[in-house]
Amino acid sequence: MKQIDEIVNRCRTAIHAGIPILYIESDDISIIDDILHTQKLTEYWHFNFEEEIPQWFRFKEKAVDIGTRPTNIFVTNQKIPTSLFWIGNSQRQNKSFGRADSTFVVKGLKPIIKNDRSVRYILGVRNFSCDASAENALVNHVASVINSNEDDDIRKCVMILQSSSVQIPKGLEPYIELIEVPKLQDEEIREIIVDFAKEKGEIPYDNLLQPLIVNLRGFNIRKIKDILNRLYLYCQGLFTIKCEEDGIKLIRTVKEQMLKKEGLLKLKYVDKKAHVSGLDKLTDWLVSRADLFRDPIKAETQWNLSTPKGILVSGIPGTGKSALANQIAMVFDLPILQFDMGSVLGKYSGESEANMRKVLRLAESMSPCVLWIDEIEKAFSSASFSGDSDGGQGKRLFGQFLTWMQEKKEACFIFATANDISALPPEFLRRGRFDQKFYTFMPSKQDCIEIFKGIISRFNGKSKPFDTLLNNTSALEKYLTDLVEFCGANGKFMTGADIEGVVKDAMFSYYKKYWYGNIDNPGKYIPEKFIEELREAVLNVRTYGETDMKRIVECLFRLAENQFFPASASSNLLSLKDVSVRDFSIREFKGVKNGYDELLHDKIKAETDYIRASRQKHK
């Protein structure tokens, strides 16, 4: 069933059920016109004032002059007119659809002339804005319907409102039917593209047709036609080599403009040079599924494989969770959309829910894409703990998001991060919500070395100290191995964020002492001096492993309880298999002693034993 036919059927069902007001939630202001032009909701009627006895007739029953429009239909913009009158003067007949004269009065919508031919009257309002006068008009209309008899003409008068966000006055909910616009199916999008190509004398081919279908999902019919026209003009044809090379880029540009206009989602640009170190298992998982985003229709039709829903990454702060958004987008070659819950919350009843629907529609329109929700526990924690203190708003927003996650078919990959999963509703962690739940933990010795290398490589070609280090691979490995062991010996157990801070501090200190201030040998780089500065920076920093060991232990047990999967391939330090949630204990160190991992493990175990003893003492 085509999109417009489905909308018409929903409207007809509501009208036959006696609902006086229909509300179409859509950002397409022409949707009301499209519905009425089908004449499936109501036929076009005209009241002929020129006859000796003025009367109604259907357009198809009698020839009409060019420009004559239905007298039983009135379409306006934003506001409901405060007064509409029958026009008895033939010189003032309706000359254009949706303008000027009307066959009914808004206050009650009661026709002045008796409707003997069962003519249905419709008032359509594009981009409806519910101000005080509009609210009064709605209340008056509903009151007139309630006070009328079944055969009164007022029951043949229907309002159709359209706006991108729903604004329903309190108390009128039972008398207003909310009509949601269904998404265009792939076959409908294909039909639009093929018809457009045929009009231009082109022959569609699958190599470009399939990517166009995927990237045009979420748009309405008019927007798709507009984009196709742009492609045709820019690429000098729709199915051309230039369109195959630049067409998808142009569509993404249109989507970027749409995001900027709405302001609910932020577009983050992919940094091609950035790389996340120490999270090899997660990266391998992403790479293995990248092909599903390159040709999602083929994967679905030939192999019954849908694009991945998304992943949830949790762990202690500073371990590279947020940086993974860039890595995911780079592997999948997709744009990143950052979702901030604060942009959704509104001060009016129902405004937040409407904004959430708009955000989800935008994400679908931008597909294929990565939807990044950083620290998601802050967005949805109220769904667990607020009760009804916020009027149930948190629970409704959470329910909307869960339903969308379950039902979405668009290639919109959800990347959610969380520092504290205990603040999330339990149903969010249920198996099947995400394709996988990964965890990041305190880096092992090898992870720390890889993170150091990753940070140093960012400055390749930009910093002479780092260039010298990178040009001598064996020396770099030895320097970093000794440095990480030095950290372990001094109890400086670091996260990725700690390591980045140490490198920046050492770089600045070396610059001031031996580069900028070295008068005898200006510009000469001494690697050993830089390593000394790294050690000094390590001693001066307060690492996460020093200050927050209790949080590290609590996070470890929450991850084990909820069966998260390791993002790092390194297992020398600790595995969740070594954690007993029931006894609140961890096993003795069983890895290879290397001057760092066993020391960090012992500190985590000592803190675990202390917490367990404290709990038993207070029982």
Q: Which helix (DSSP H) or strand (DSSP E) does residue 21 occupy?
A: strand 21-25
The conformational region for residue 114 under phi > 0 = left, psi -120 to 50 = alpha, else beta, is beta
Given a cut of 70, whether residue 311 has pLDDT beyond it is: yes
- Whether residue 443 contacts residue 498, with contact meaning beta carbons closer than 8 Å, is answered with no
Q: Which SS3 state, helix, strand or coil, does residue 163 take?
A: strand
Q: Which SS3 state, helix, strand or coil, does residue 74 take?
A: strand
Q: How far apart are CA 124 and CA 455, in angstroms?
A: 59
pLDDT computed for residue 348 by the predictor: 55
Residues 6 or more apart whose CB falls under 8 angstroms from that of 97 comprise: 33, 36, 69, 70, 73, 75
Given a cut of 60, whether residue 521 has pLDDT beyond it is: no
Classify the C-alpha dihedral 7-10-13-19 as positive or negative.
negative
Q: How far apart are CA 98 and CA 86, in angstroms?
A: 15
Least confident of 36-40, 403-407, 597-601: 36-40
Classify the C-alpha dihedral 607-608-613-618 as positive or negative.
positive
Q: What is the mean pLDDT of residues 411-434?
A: 85
Given a cut of 80, whether residue 599 has pLDDT beyond it is: yes
Residue 481: phi and psi, rounded to 5, are -60, -45
Residues 6 or more apart whose CB falls under 8 angstroms from that of 579 comprise: 556, 557, 560, 585, 586
Residue 585: phi and psi, rounded to 5, are -150, 160
pLDDT computed for residue 88 by the predictor: 30
Burial of 121 (0-12, 13-18, 19+ CB in 10 A): buried
Q: Which amino acid is at 427?
A: E
Q: What is the mean pLDDT of residues 119-135?
A: 84
More confident residue, 437 or 37: 437
- Whether residue 383 contacts residue 394, with contact meaning beta carbons closer than 8 Å, is answered with yes
What band does 482 get if pLDDT is binned at 50, 70 and 90?
very high
Write out pLDDT tens, residues 366-391.
Answer: 888 899 988 888 777 655 544 555 55
Residue 262 CB neighbour total at 10 angstroms: 17
Mean pLDDT over each residue of the chain, to the nearest integer: 79
Q: How far apart are CA 440 and CA 544, in angstroms?
A: 14
Q: How far apart are CA 160 and CA 80, in angstroms?
A: 11
End-to-end CA distance of the chain: 64
Rg (CA), the chain: 32
Given a cut of 70, whether residue 52 has pLDDT beyond it is: no
- Whether residue 330 contacts residue 272, with contact meaning beta carbons closer than 8 Å, is answered with yes
Q: What is the mean pLDDT of residues 133-141?
A: 86
Q: Which amino acid is at 366?
A: M
Least confident of 105-109, 439-443, 545-549: 105-109
What band does 593 get if pLDDT is binned at 50, 70 and 90?
very high
Q: How far apart are CA 417 and CA 440, in angstroms?
A: 10
Given a cut of 70, whether residue 350 has pLDDT beyond it is: no
Given a cut of 50, whether residue 611 has pLDDT beyond it is: yes
Peptide bond preceding 368: is omega within 30 degrees of 0, i.e. cis? yes
Burial of 33 (0-12, 13-18, 19+ CB in 10 A): middle
Write out pLDDT tens, residues 320-338.
Answer: 888 888 888 888 888 888 8
What band does 24 get if pLDDT is binned at 50, 70 and 90?
very high
Q: What is the mean pLDDT of residues 54-66?
A: 53
Q: Which residues pair with 337 in a beta bridge?
A: 267, 371
Enter the DSSP assignment of 414.
E
What band does 89 get if pLDDT is binned at 50, 70 and 90?
very low
Q: What is the mean pLDDT of residues 583-598?
A: 92
Provide the strand spans (E) within 501-578. 565-566
Q: How far apart are CA 259 and CA 252, in angstroms?
A: 10
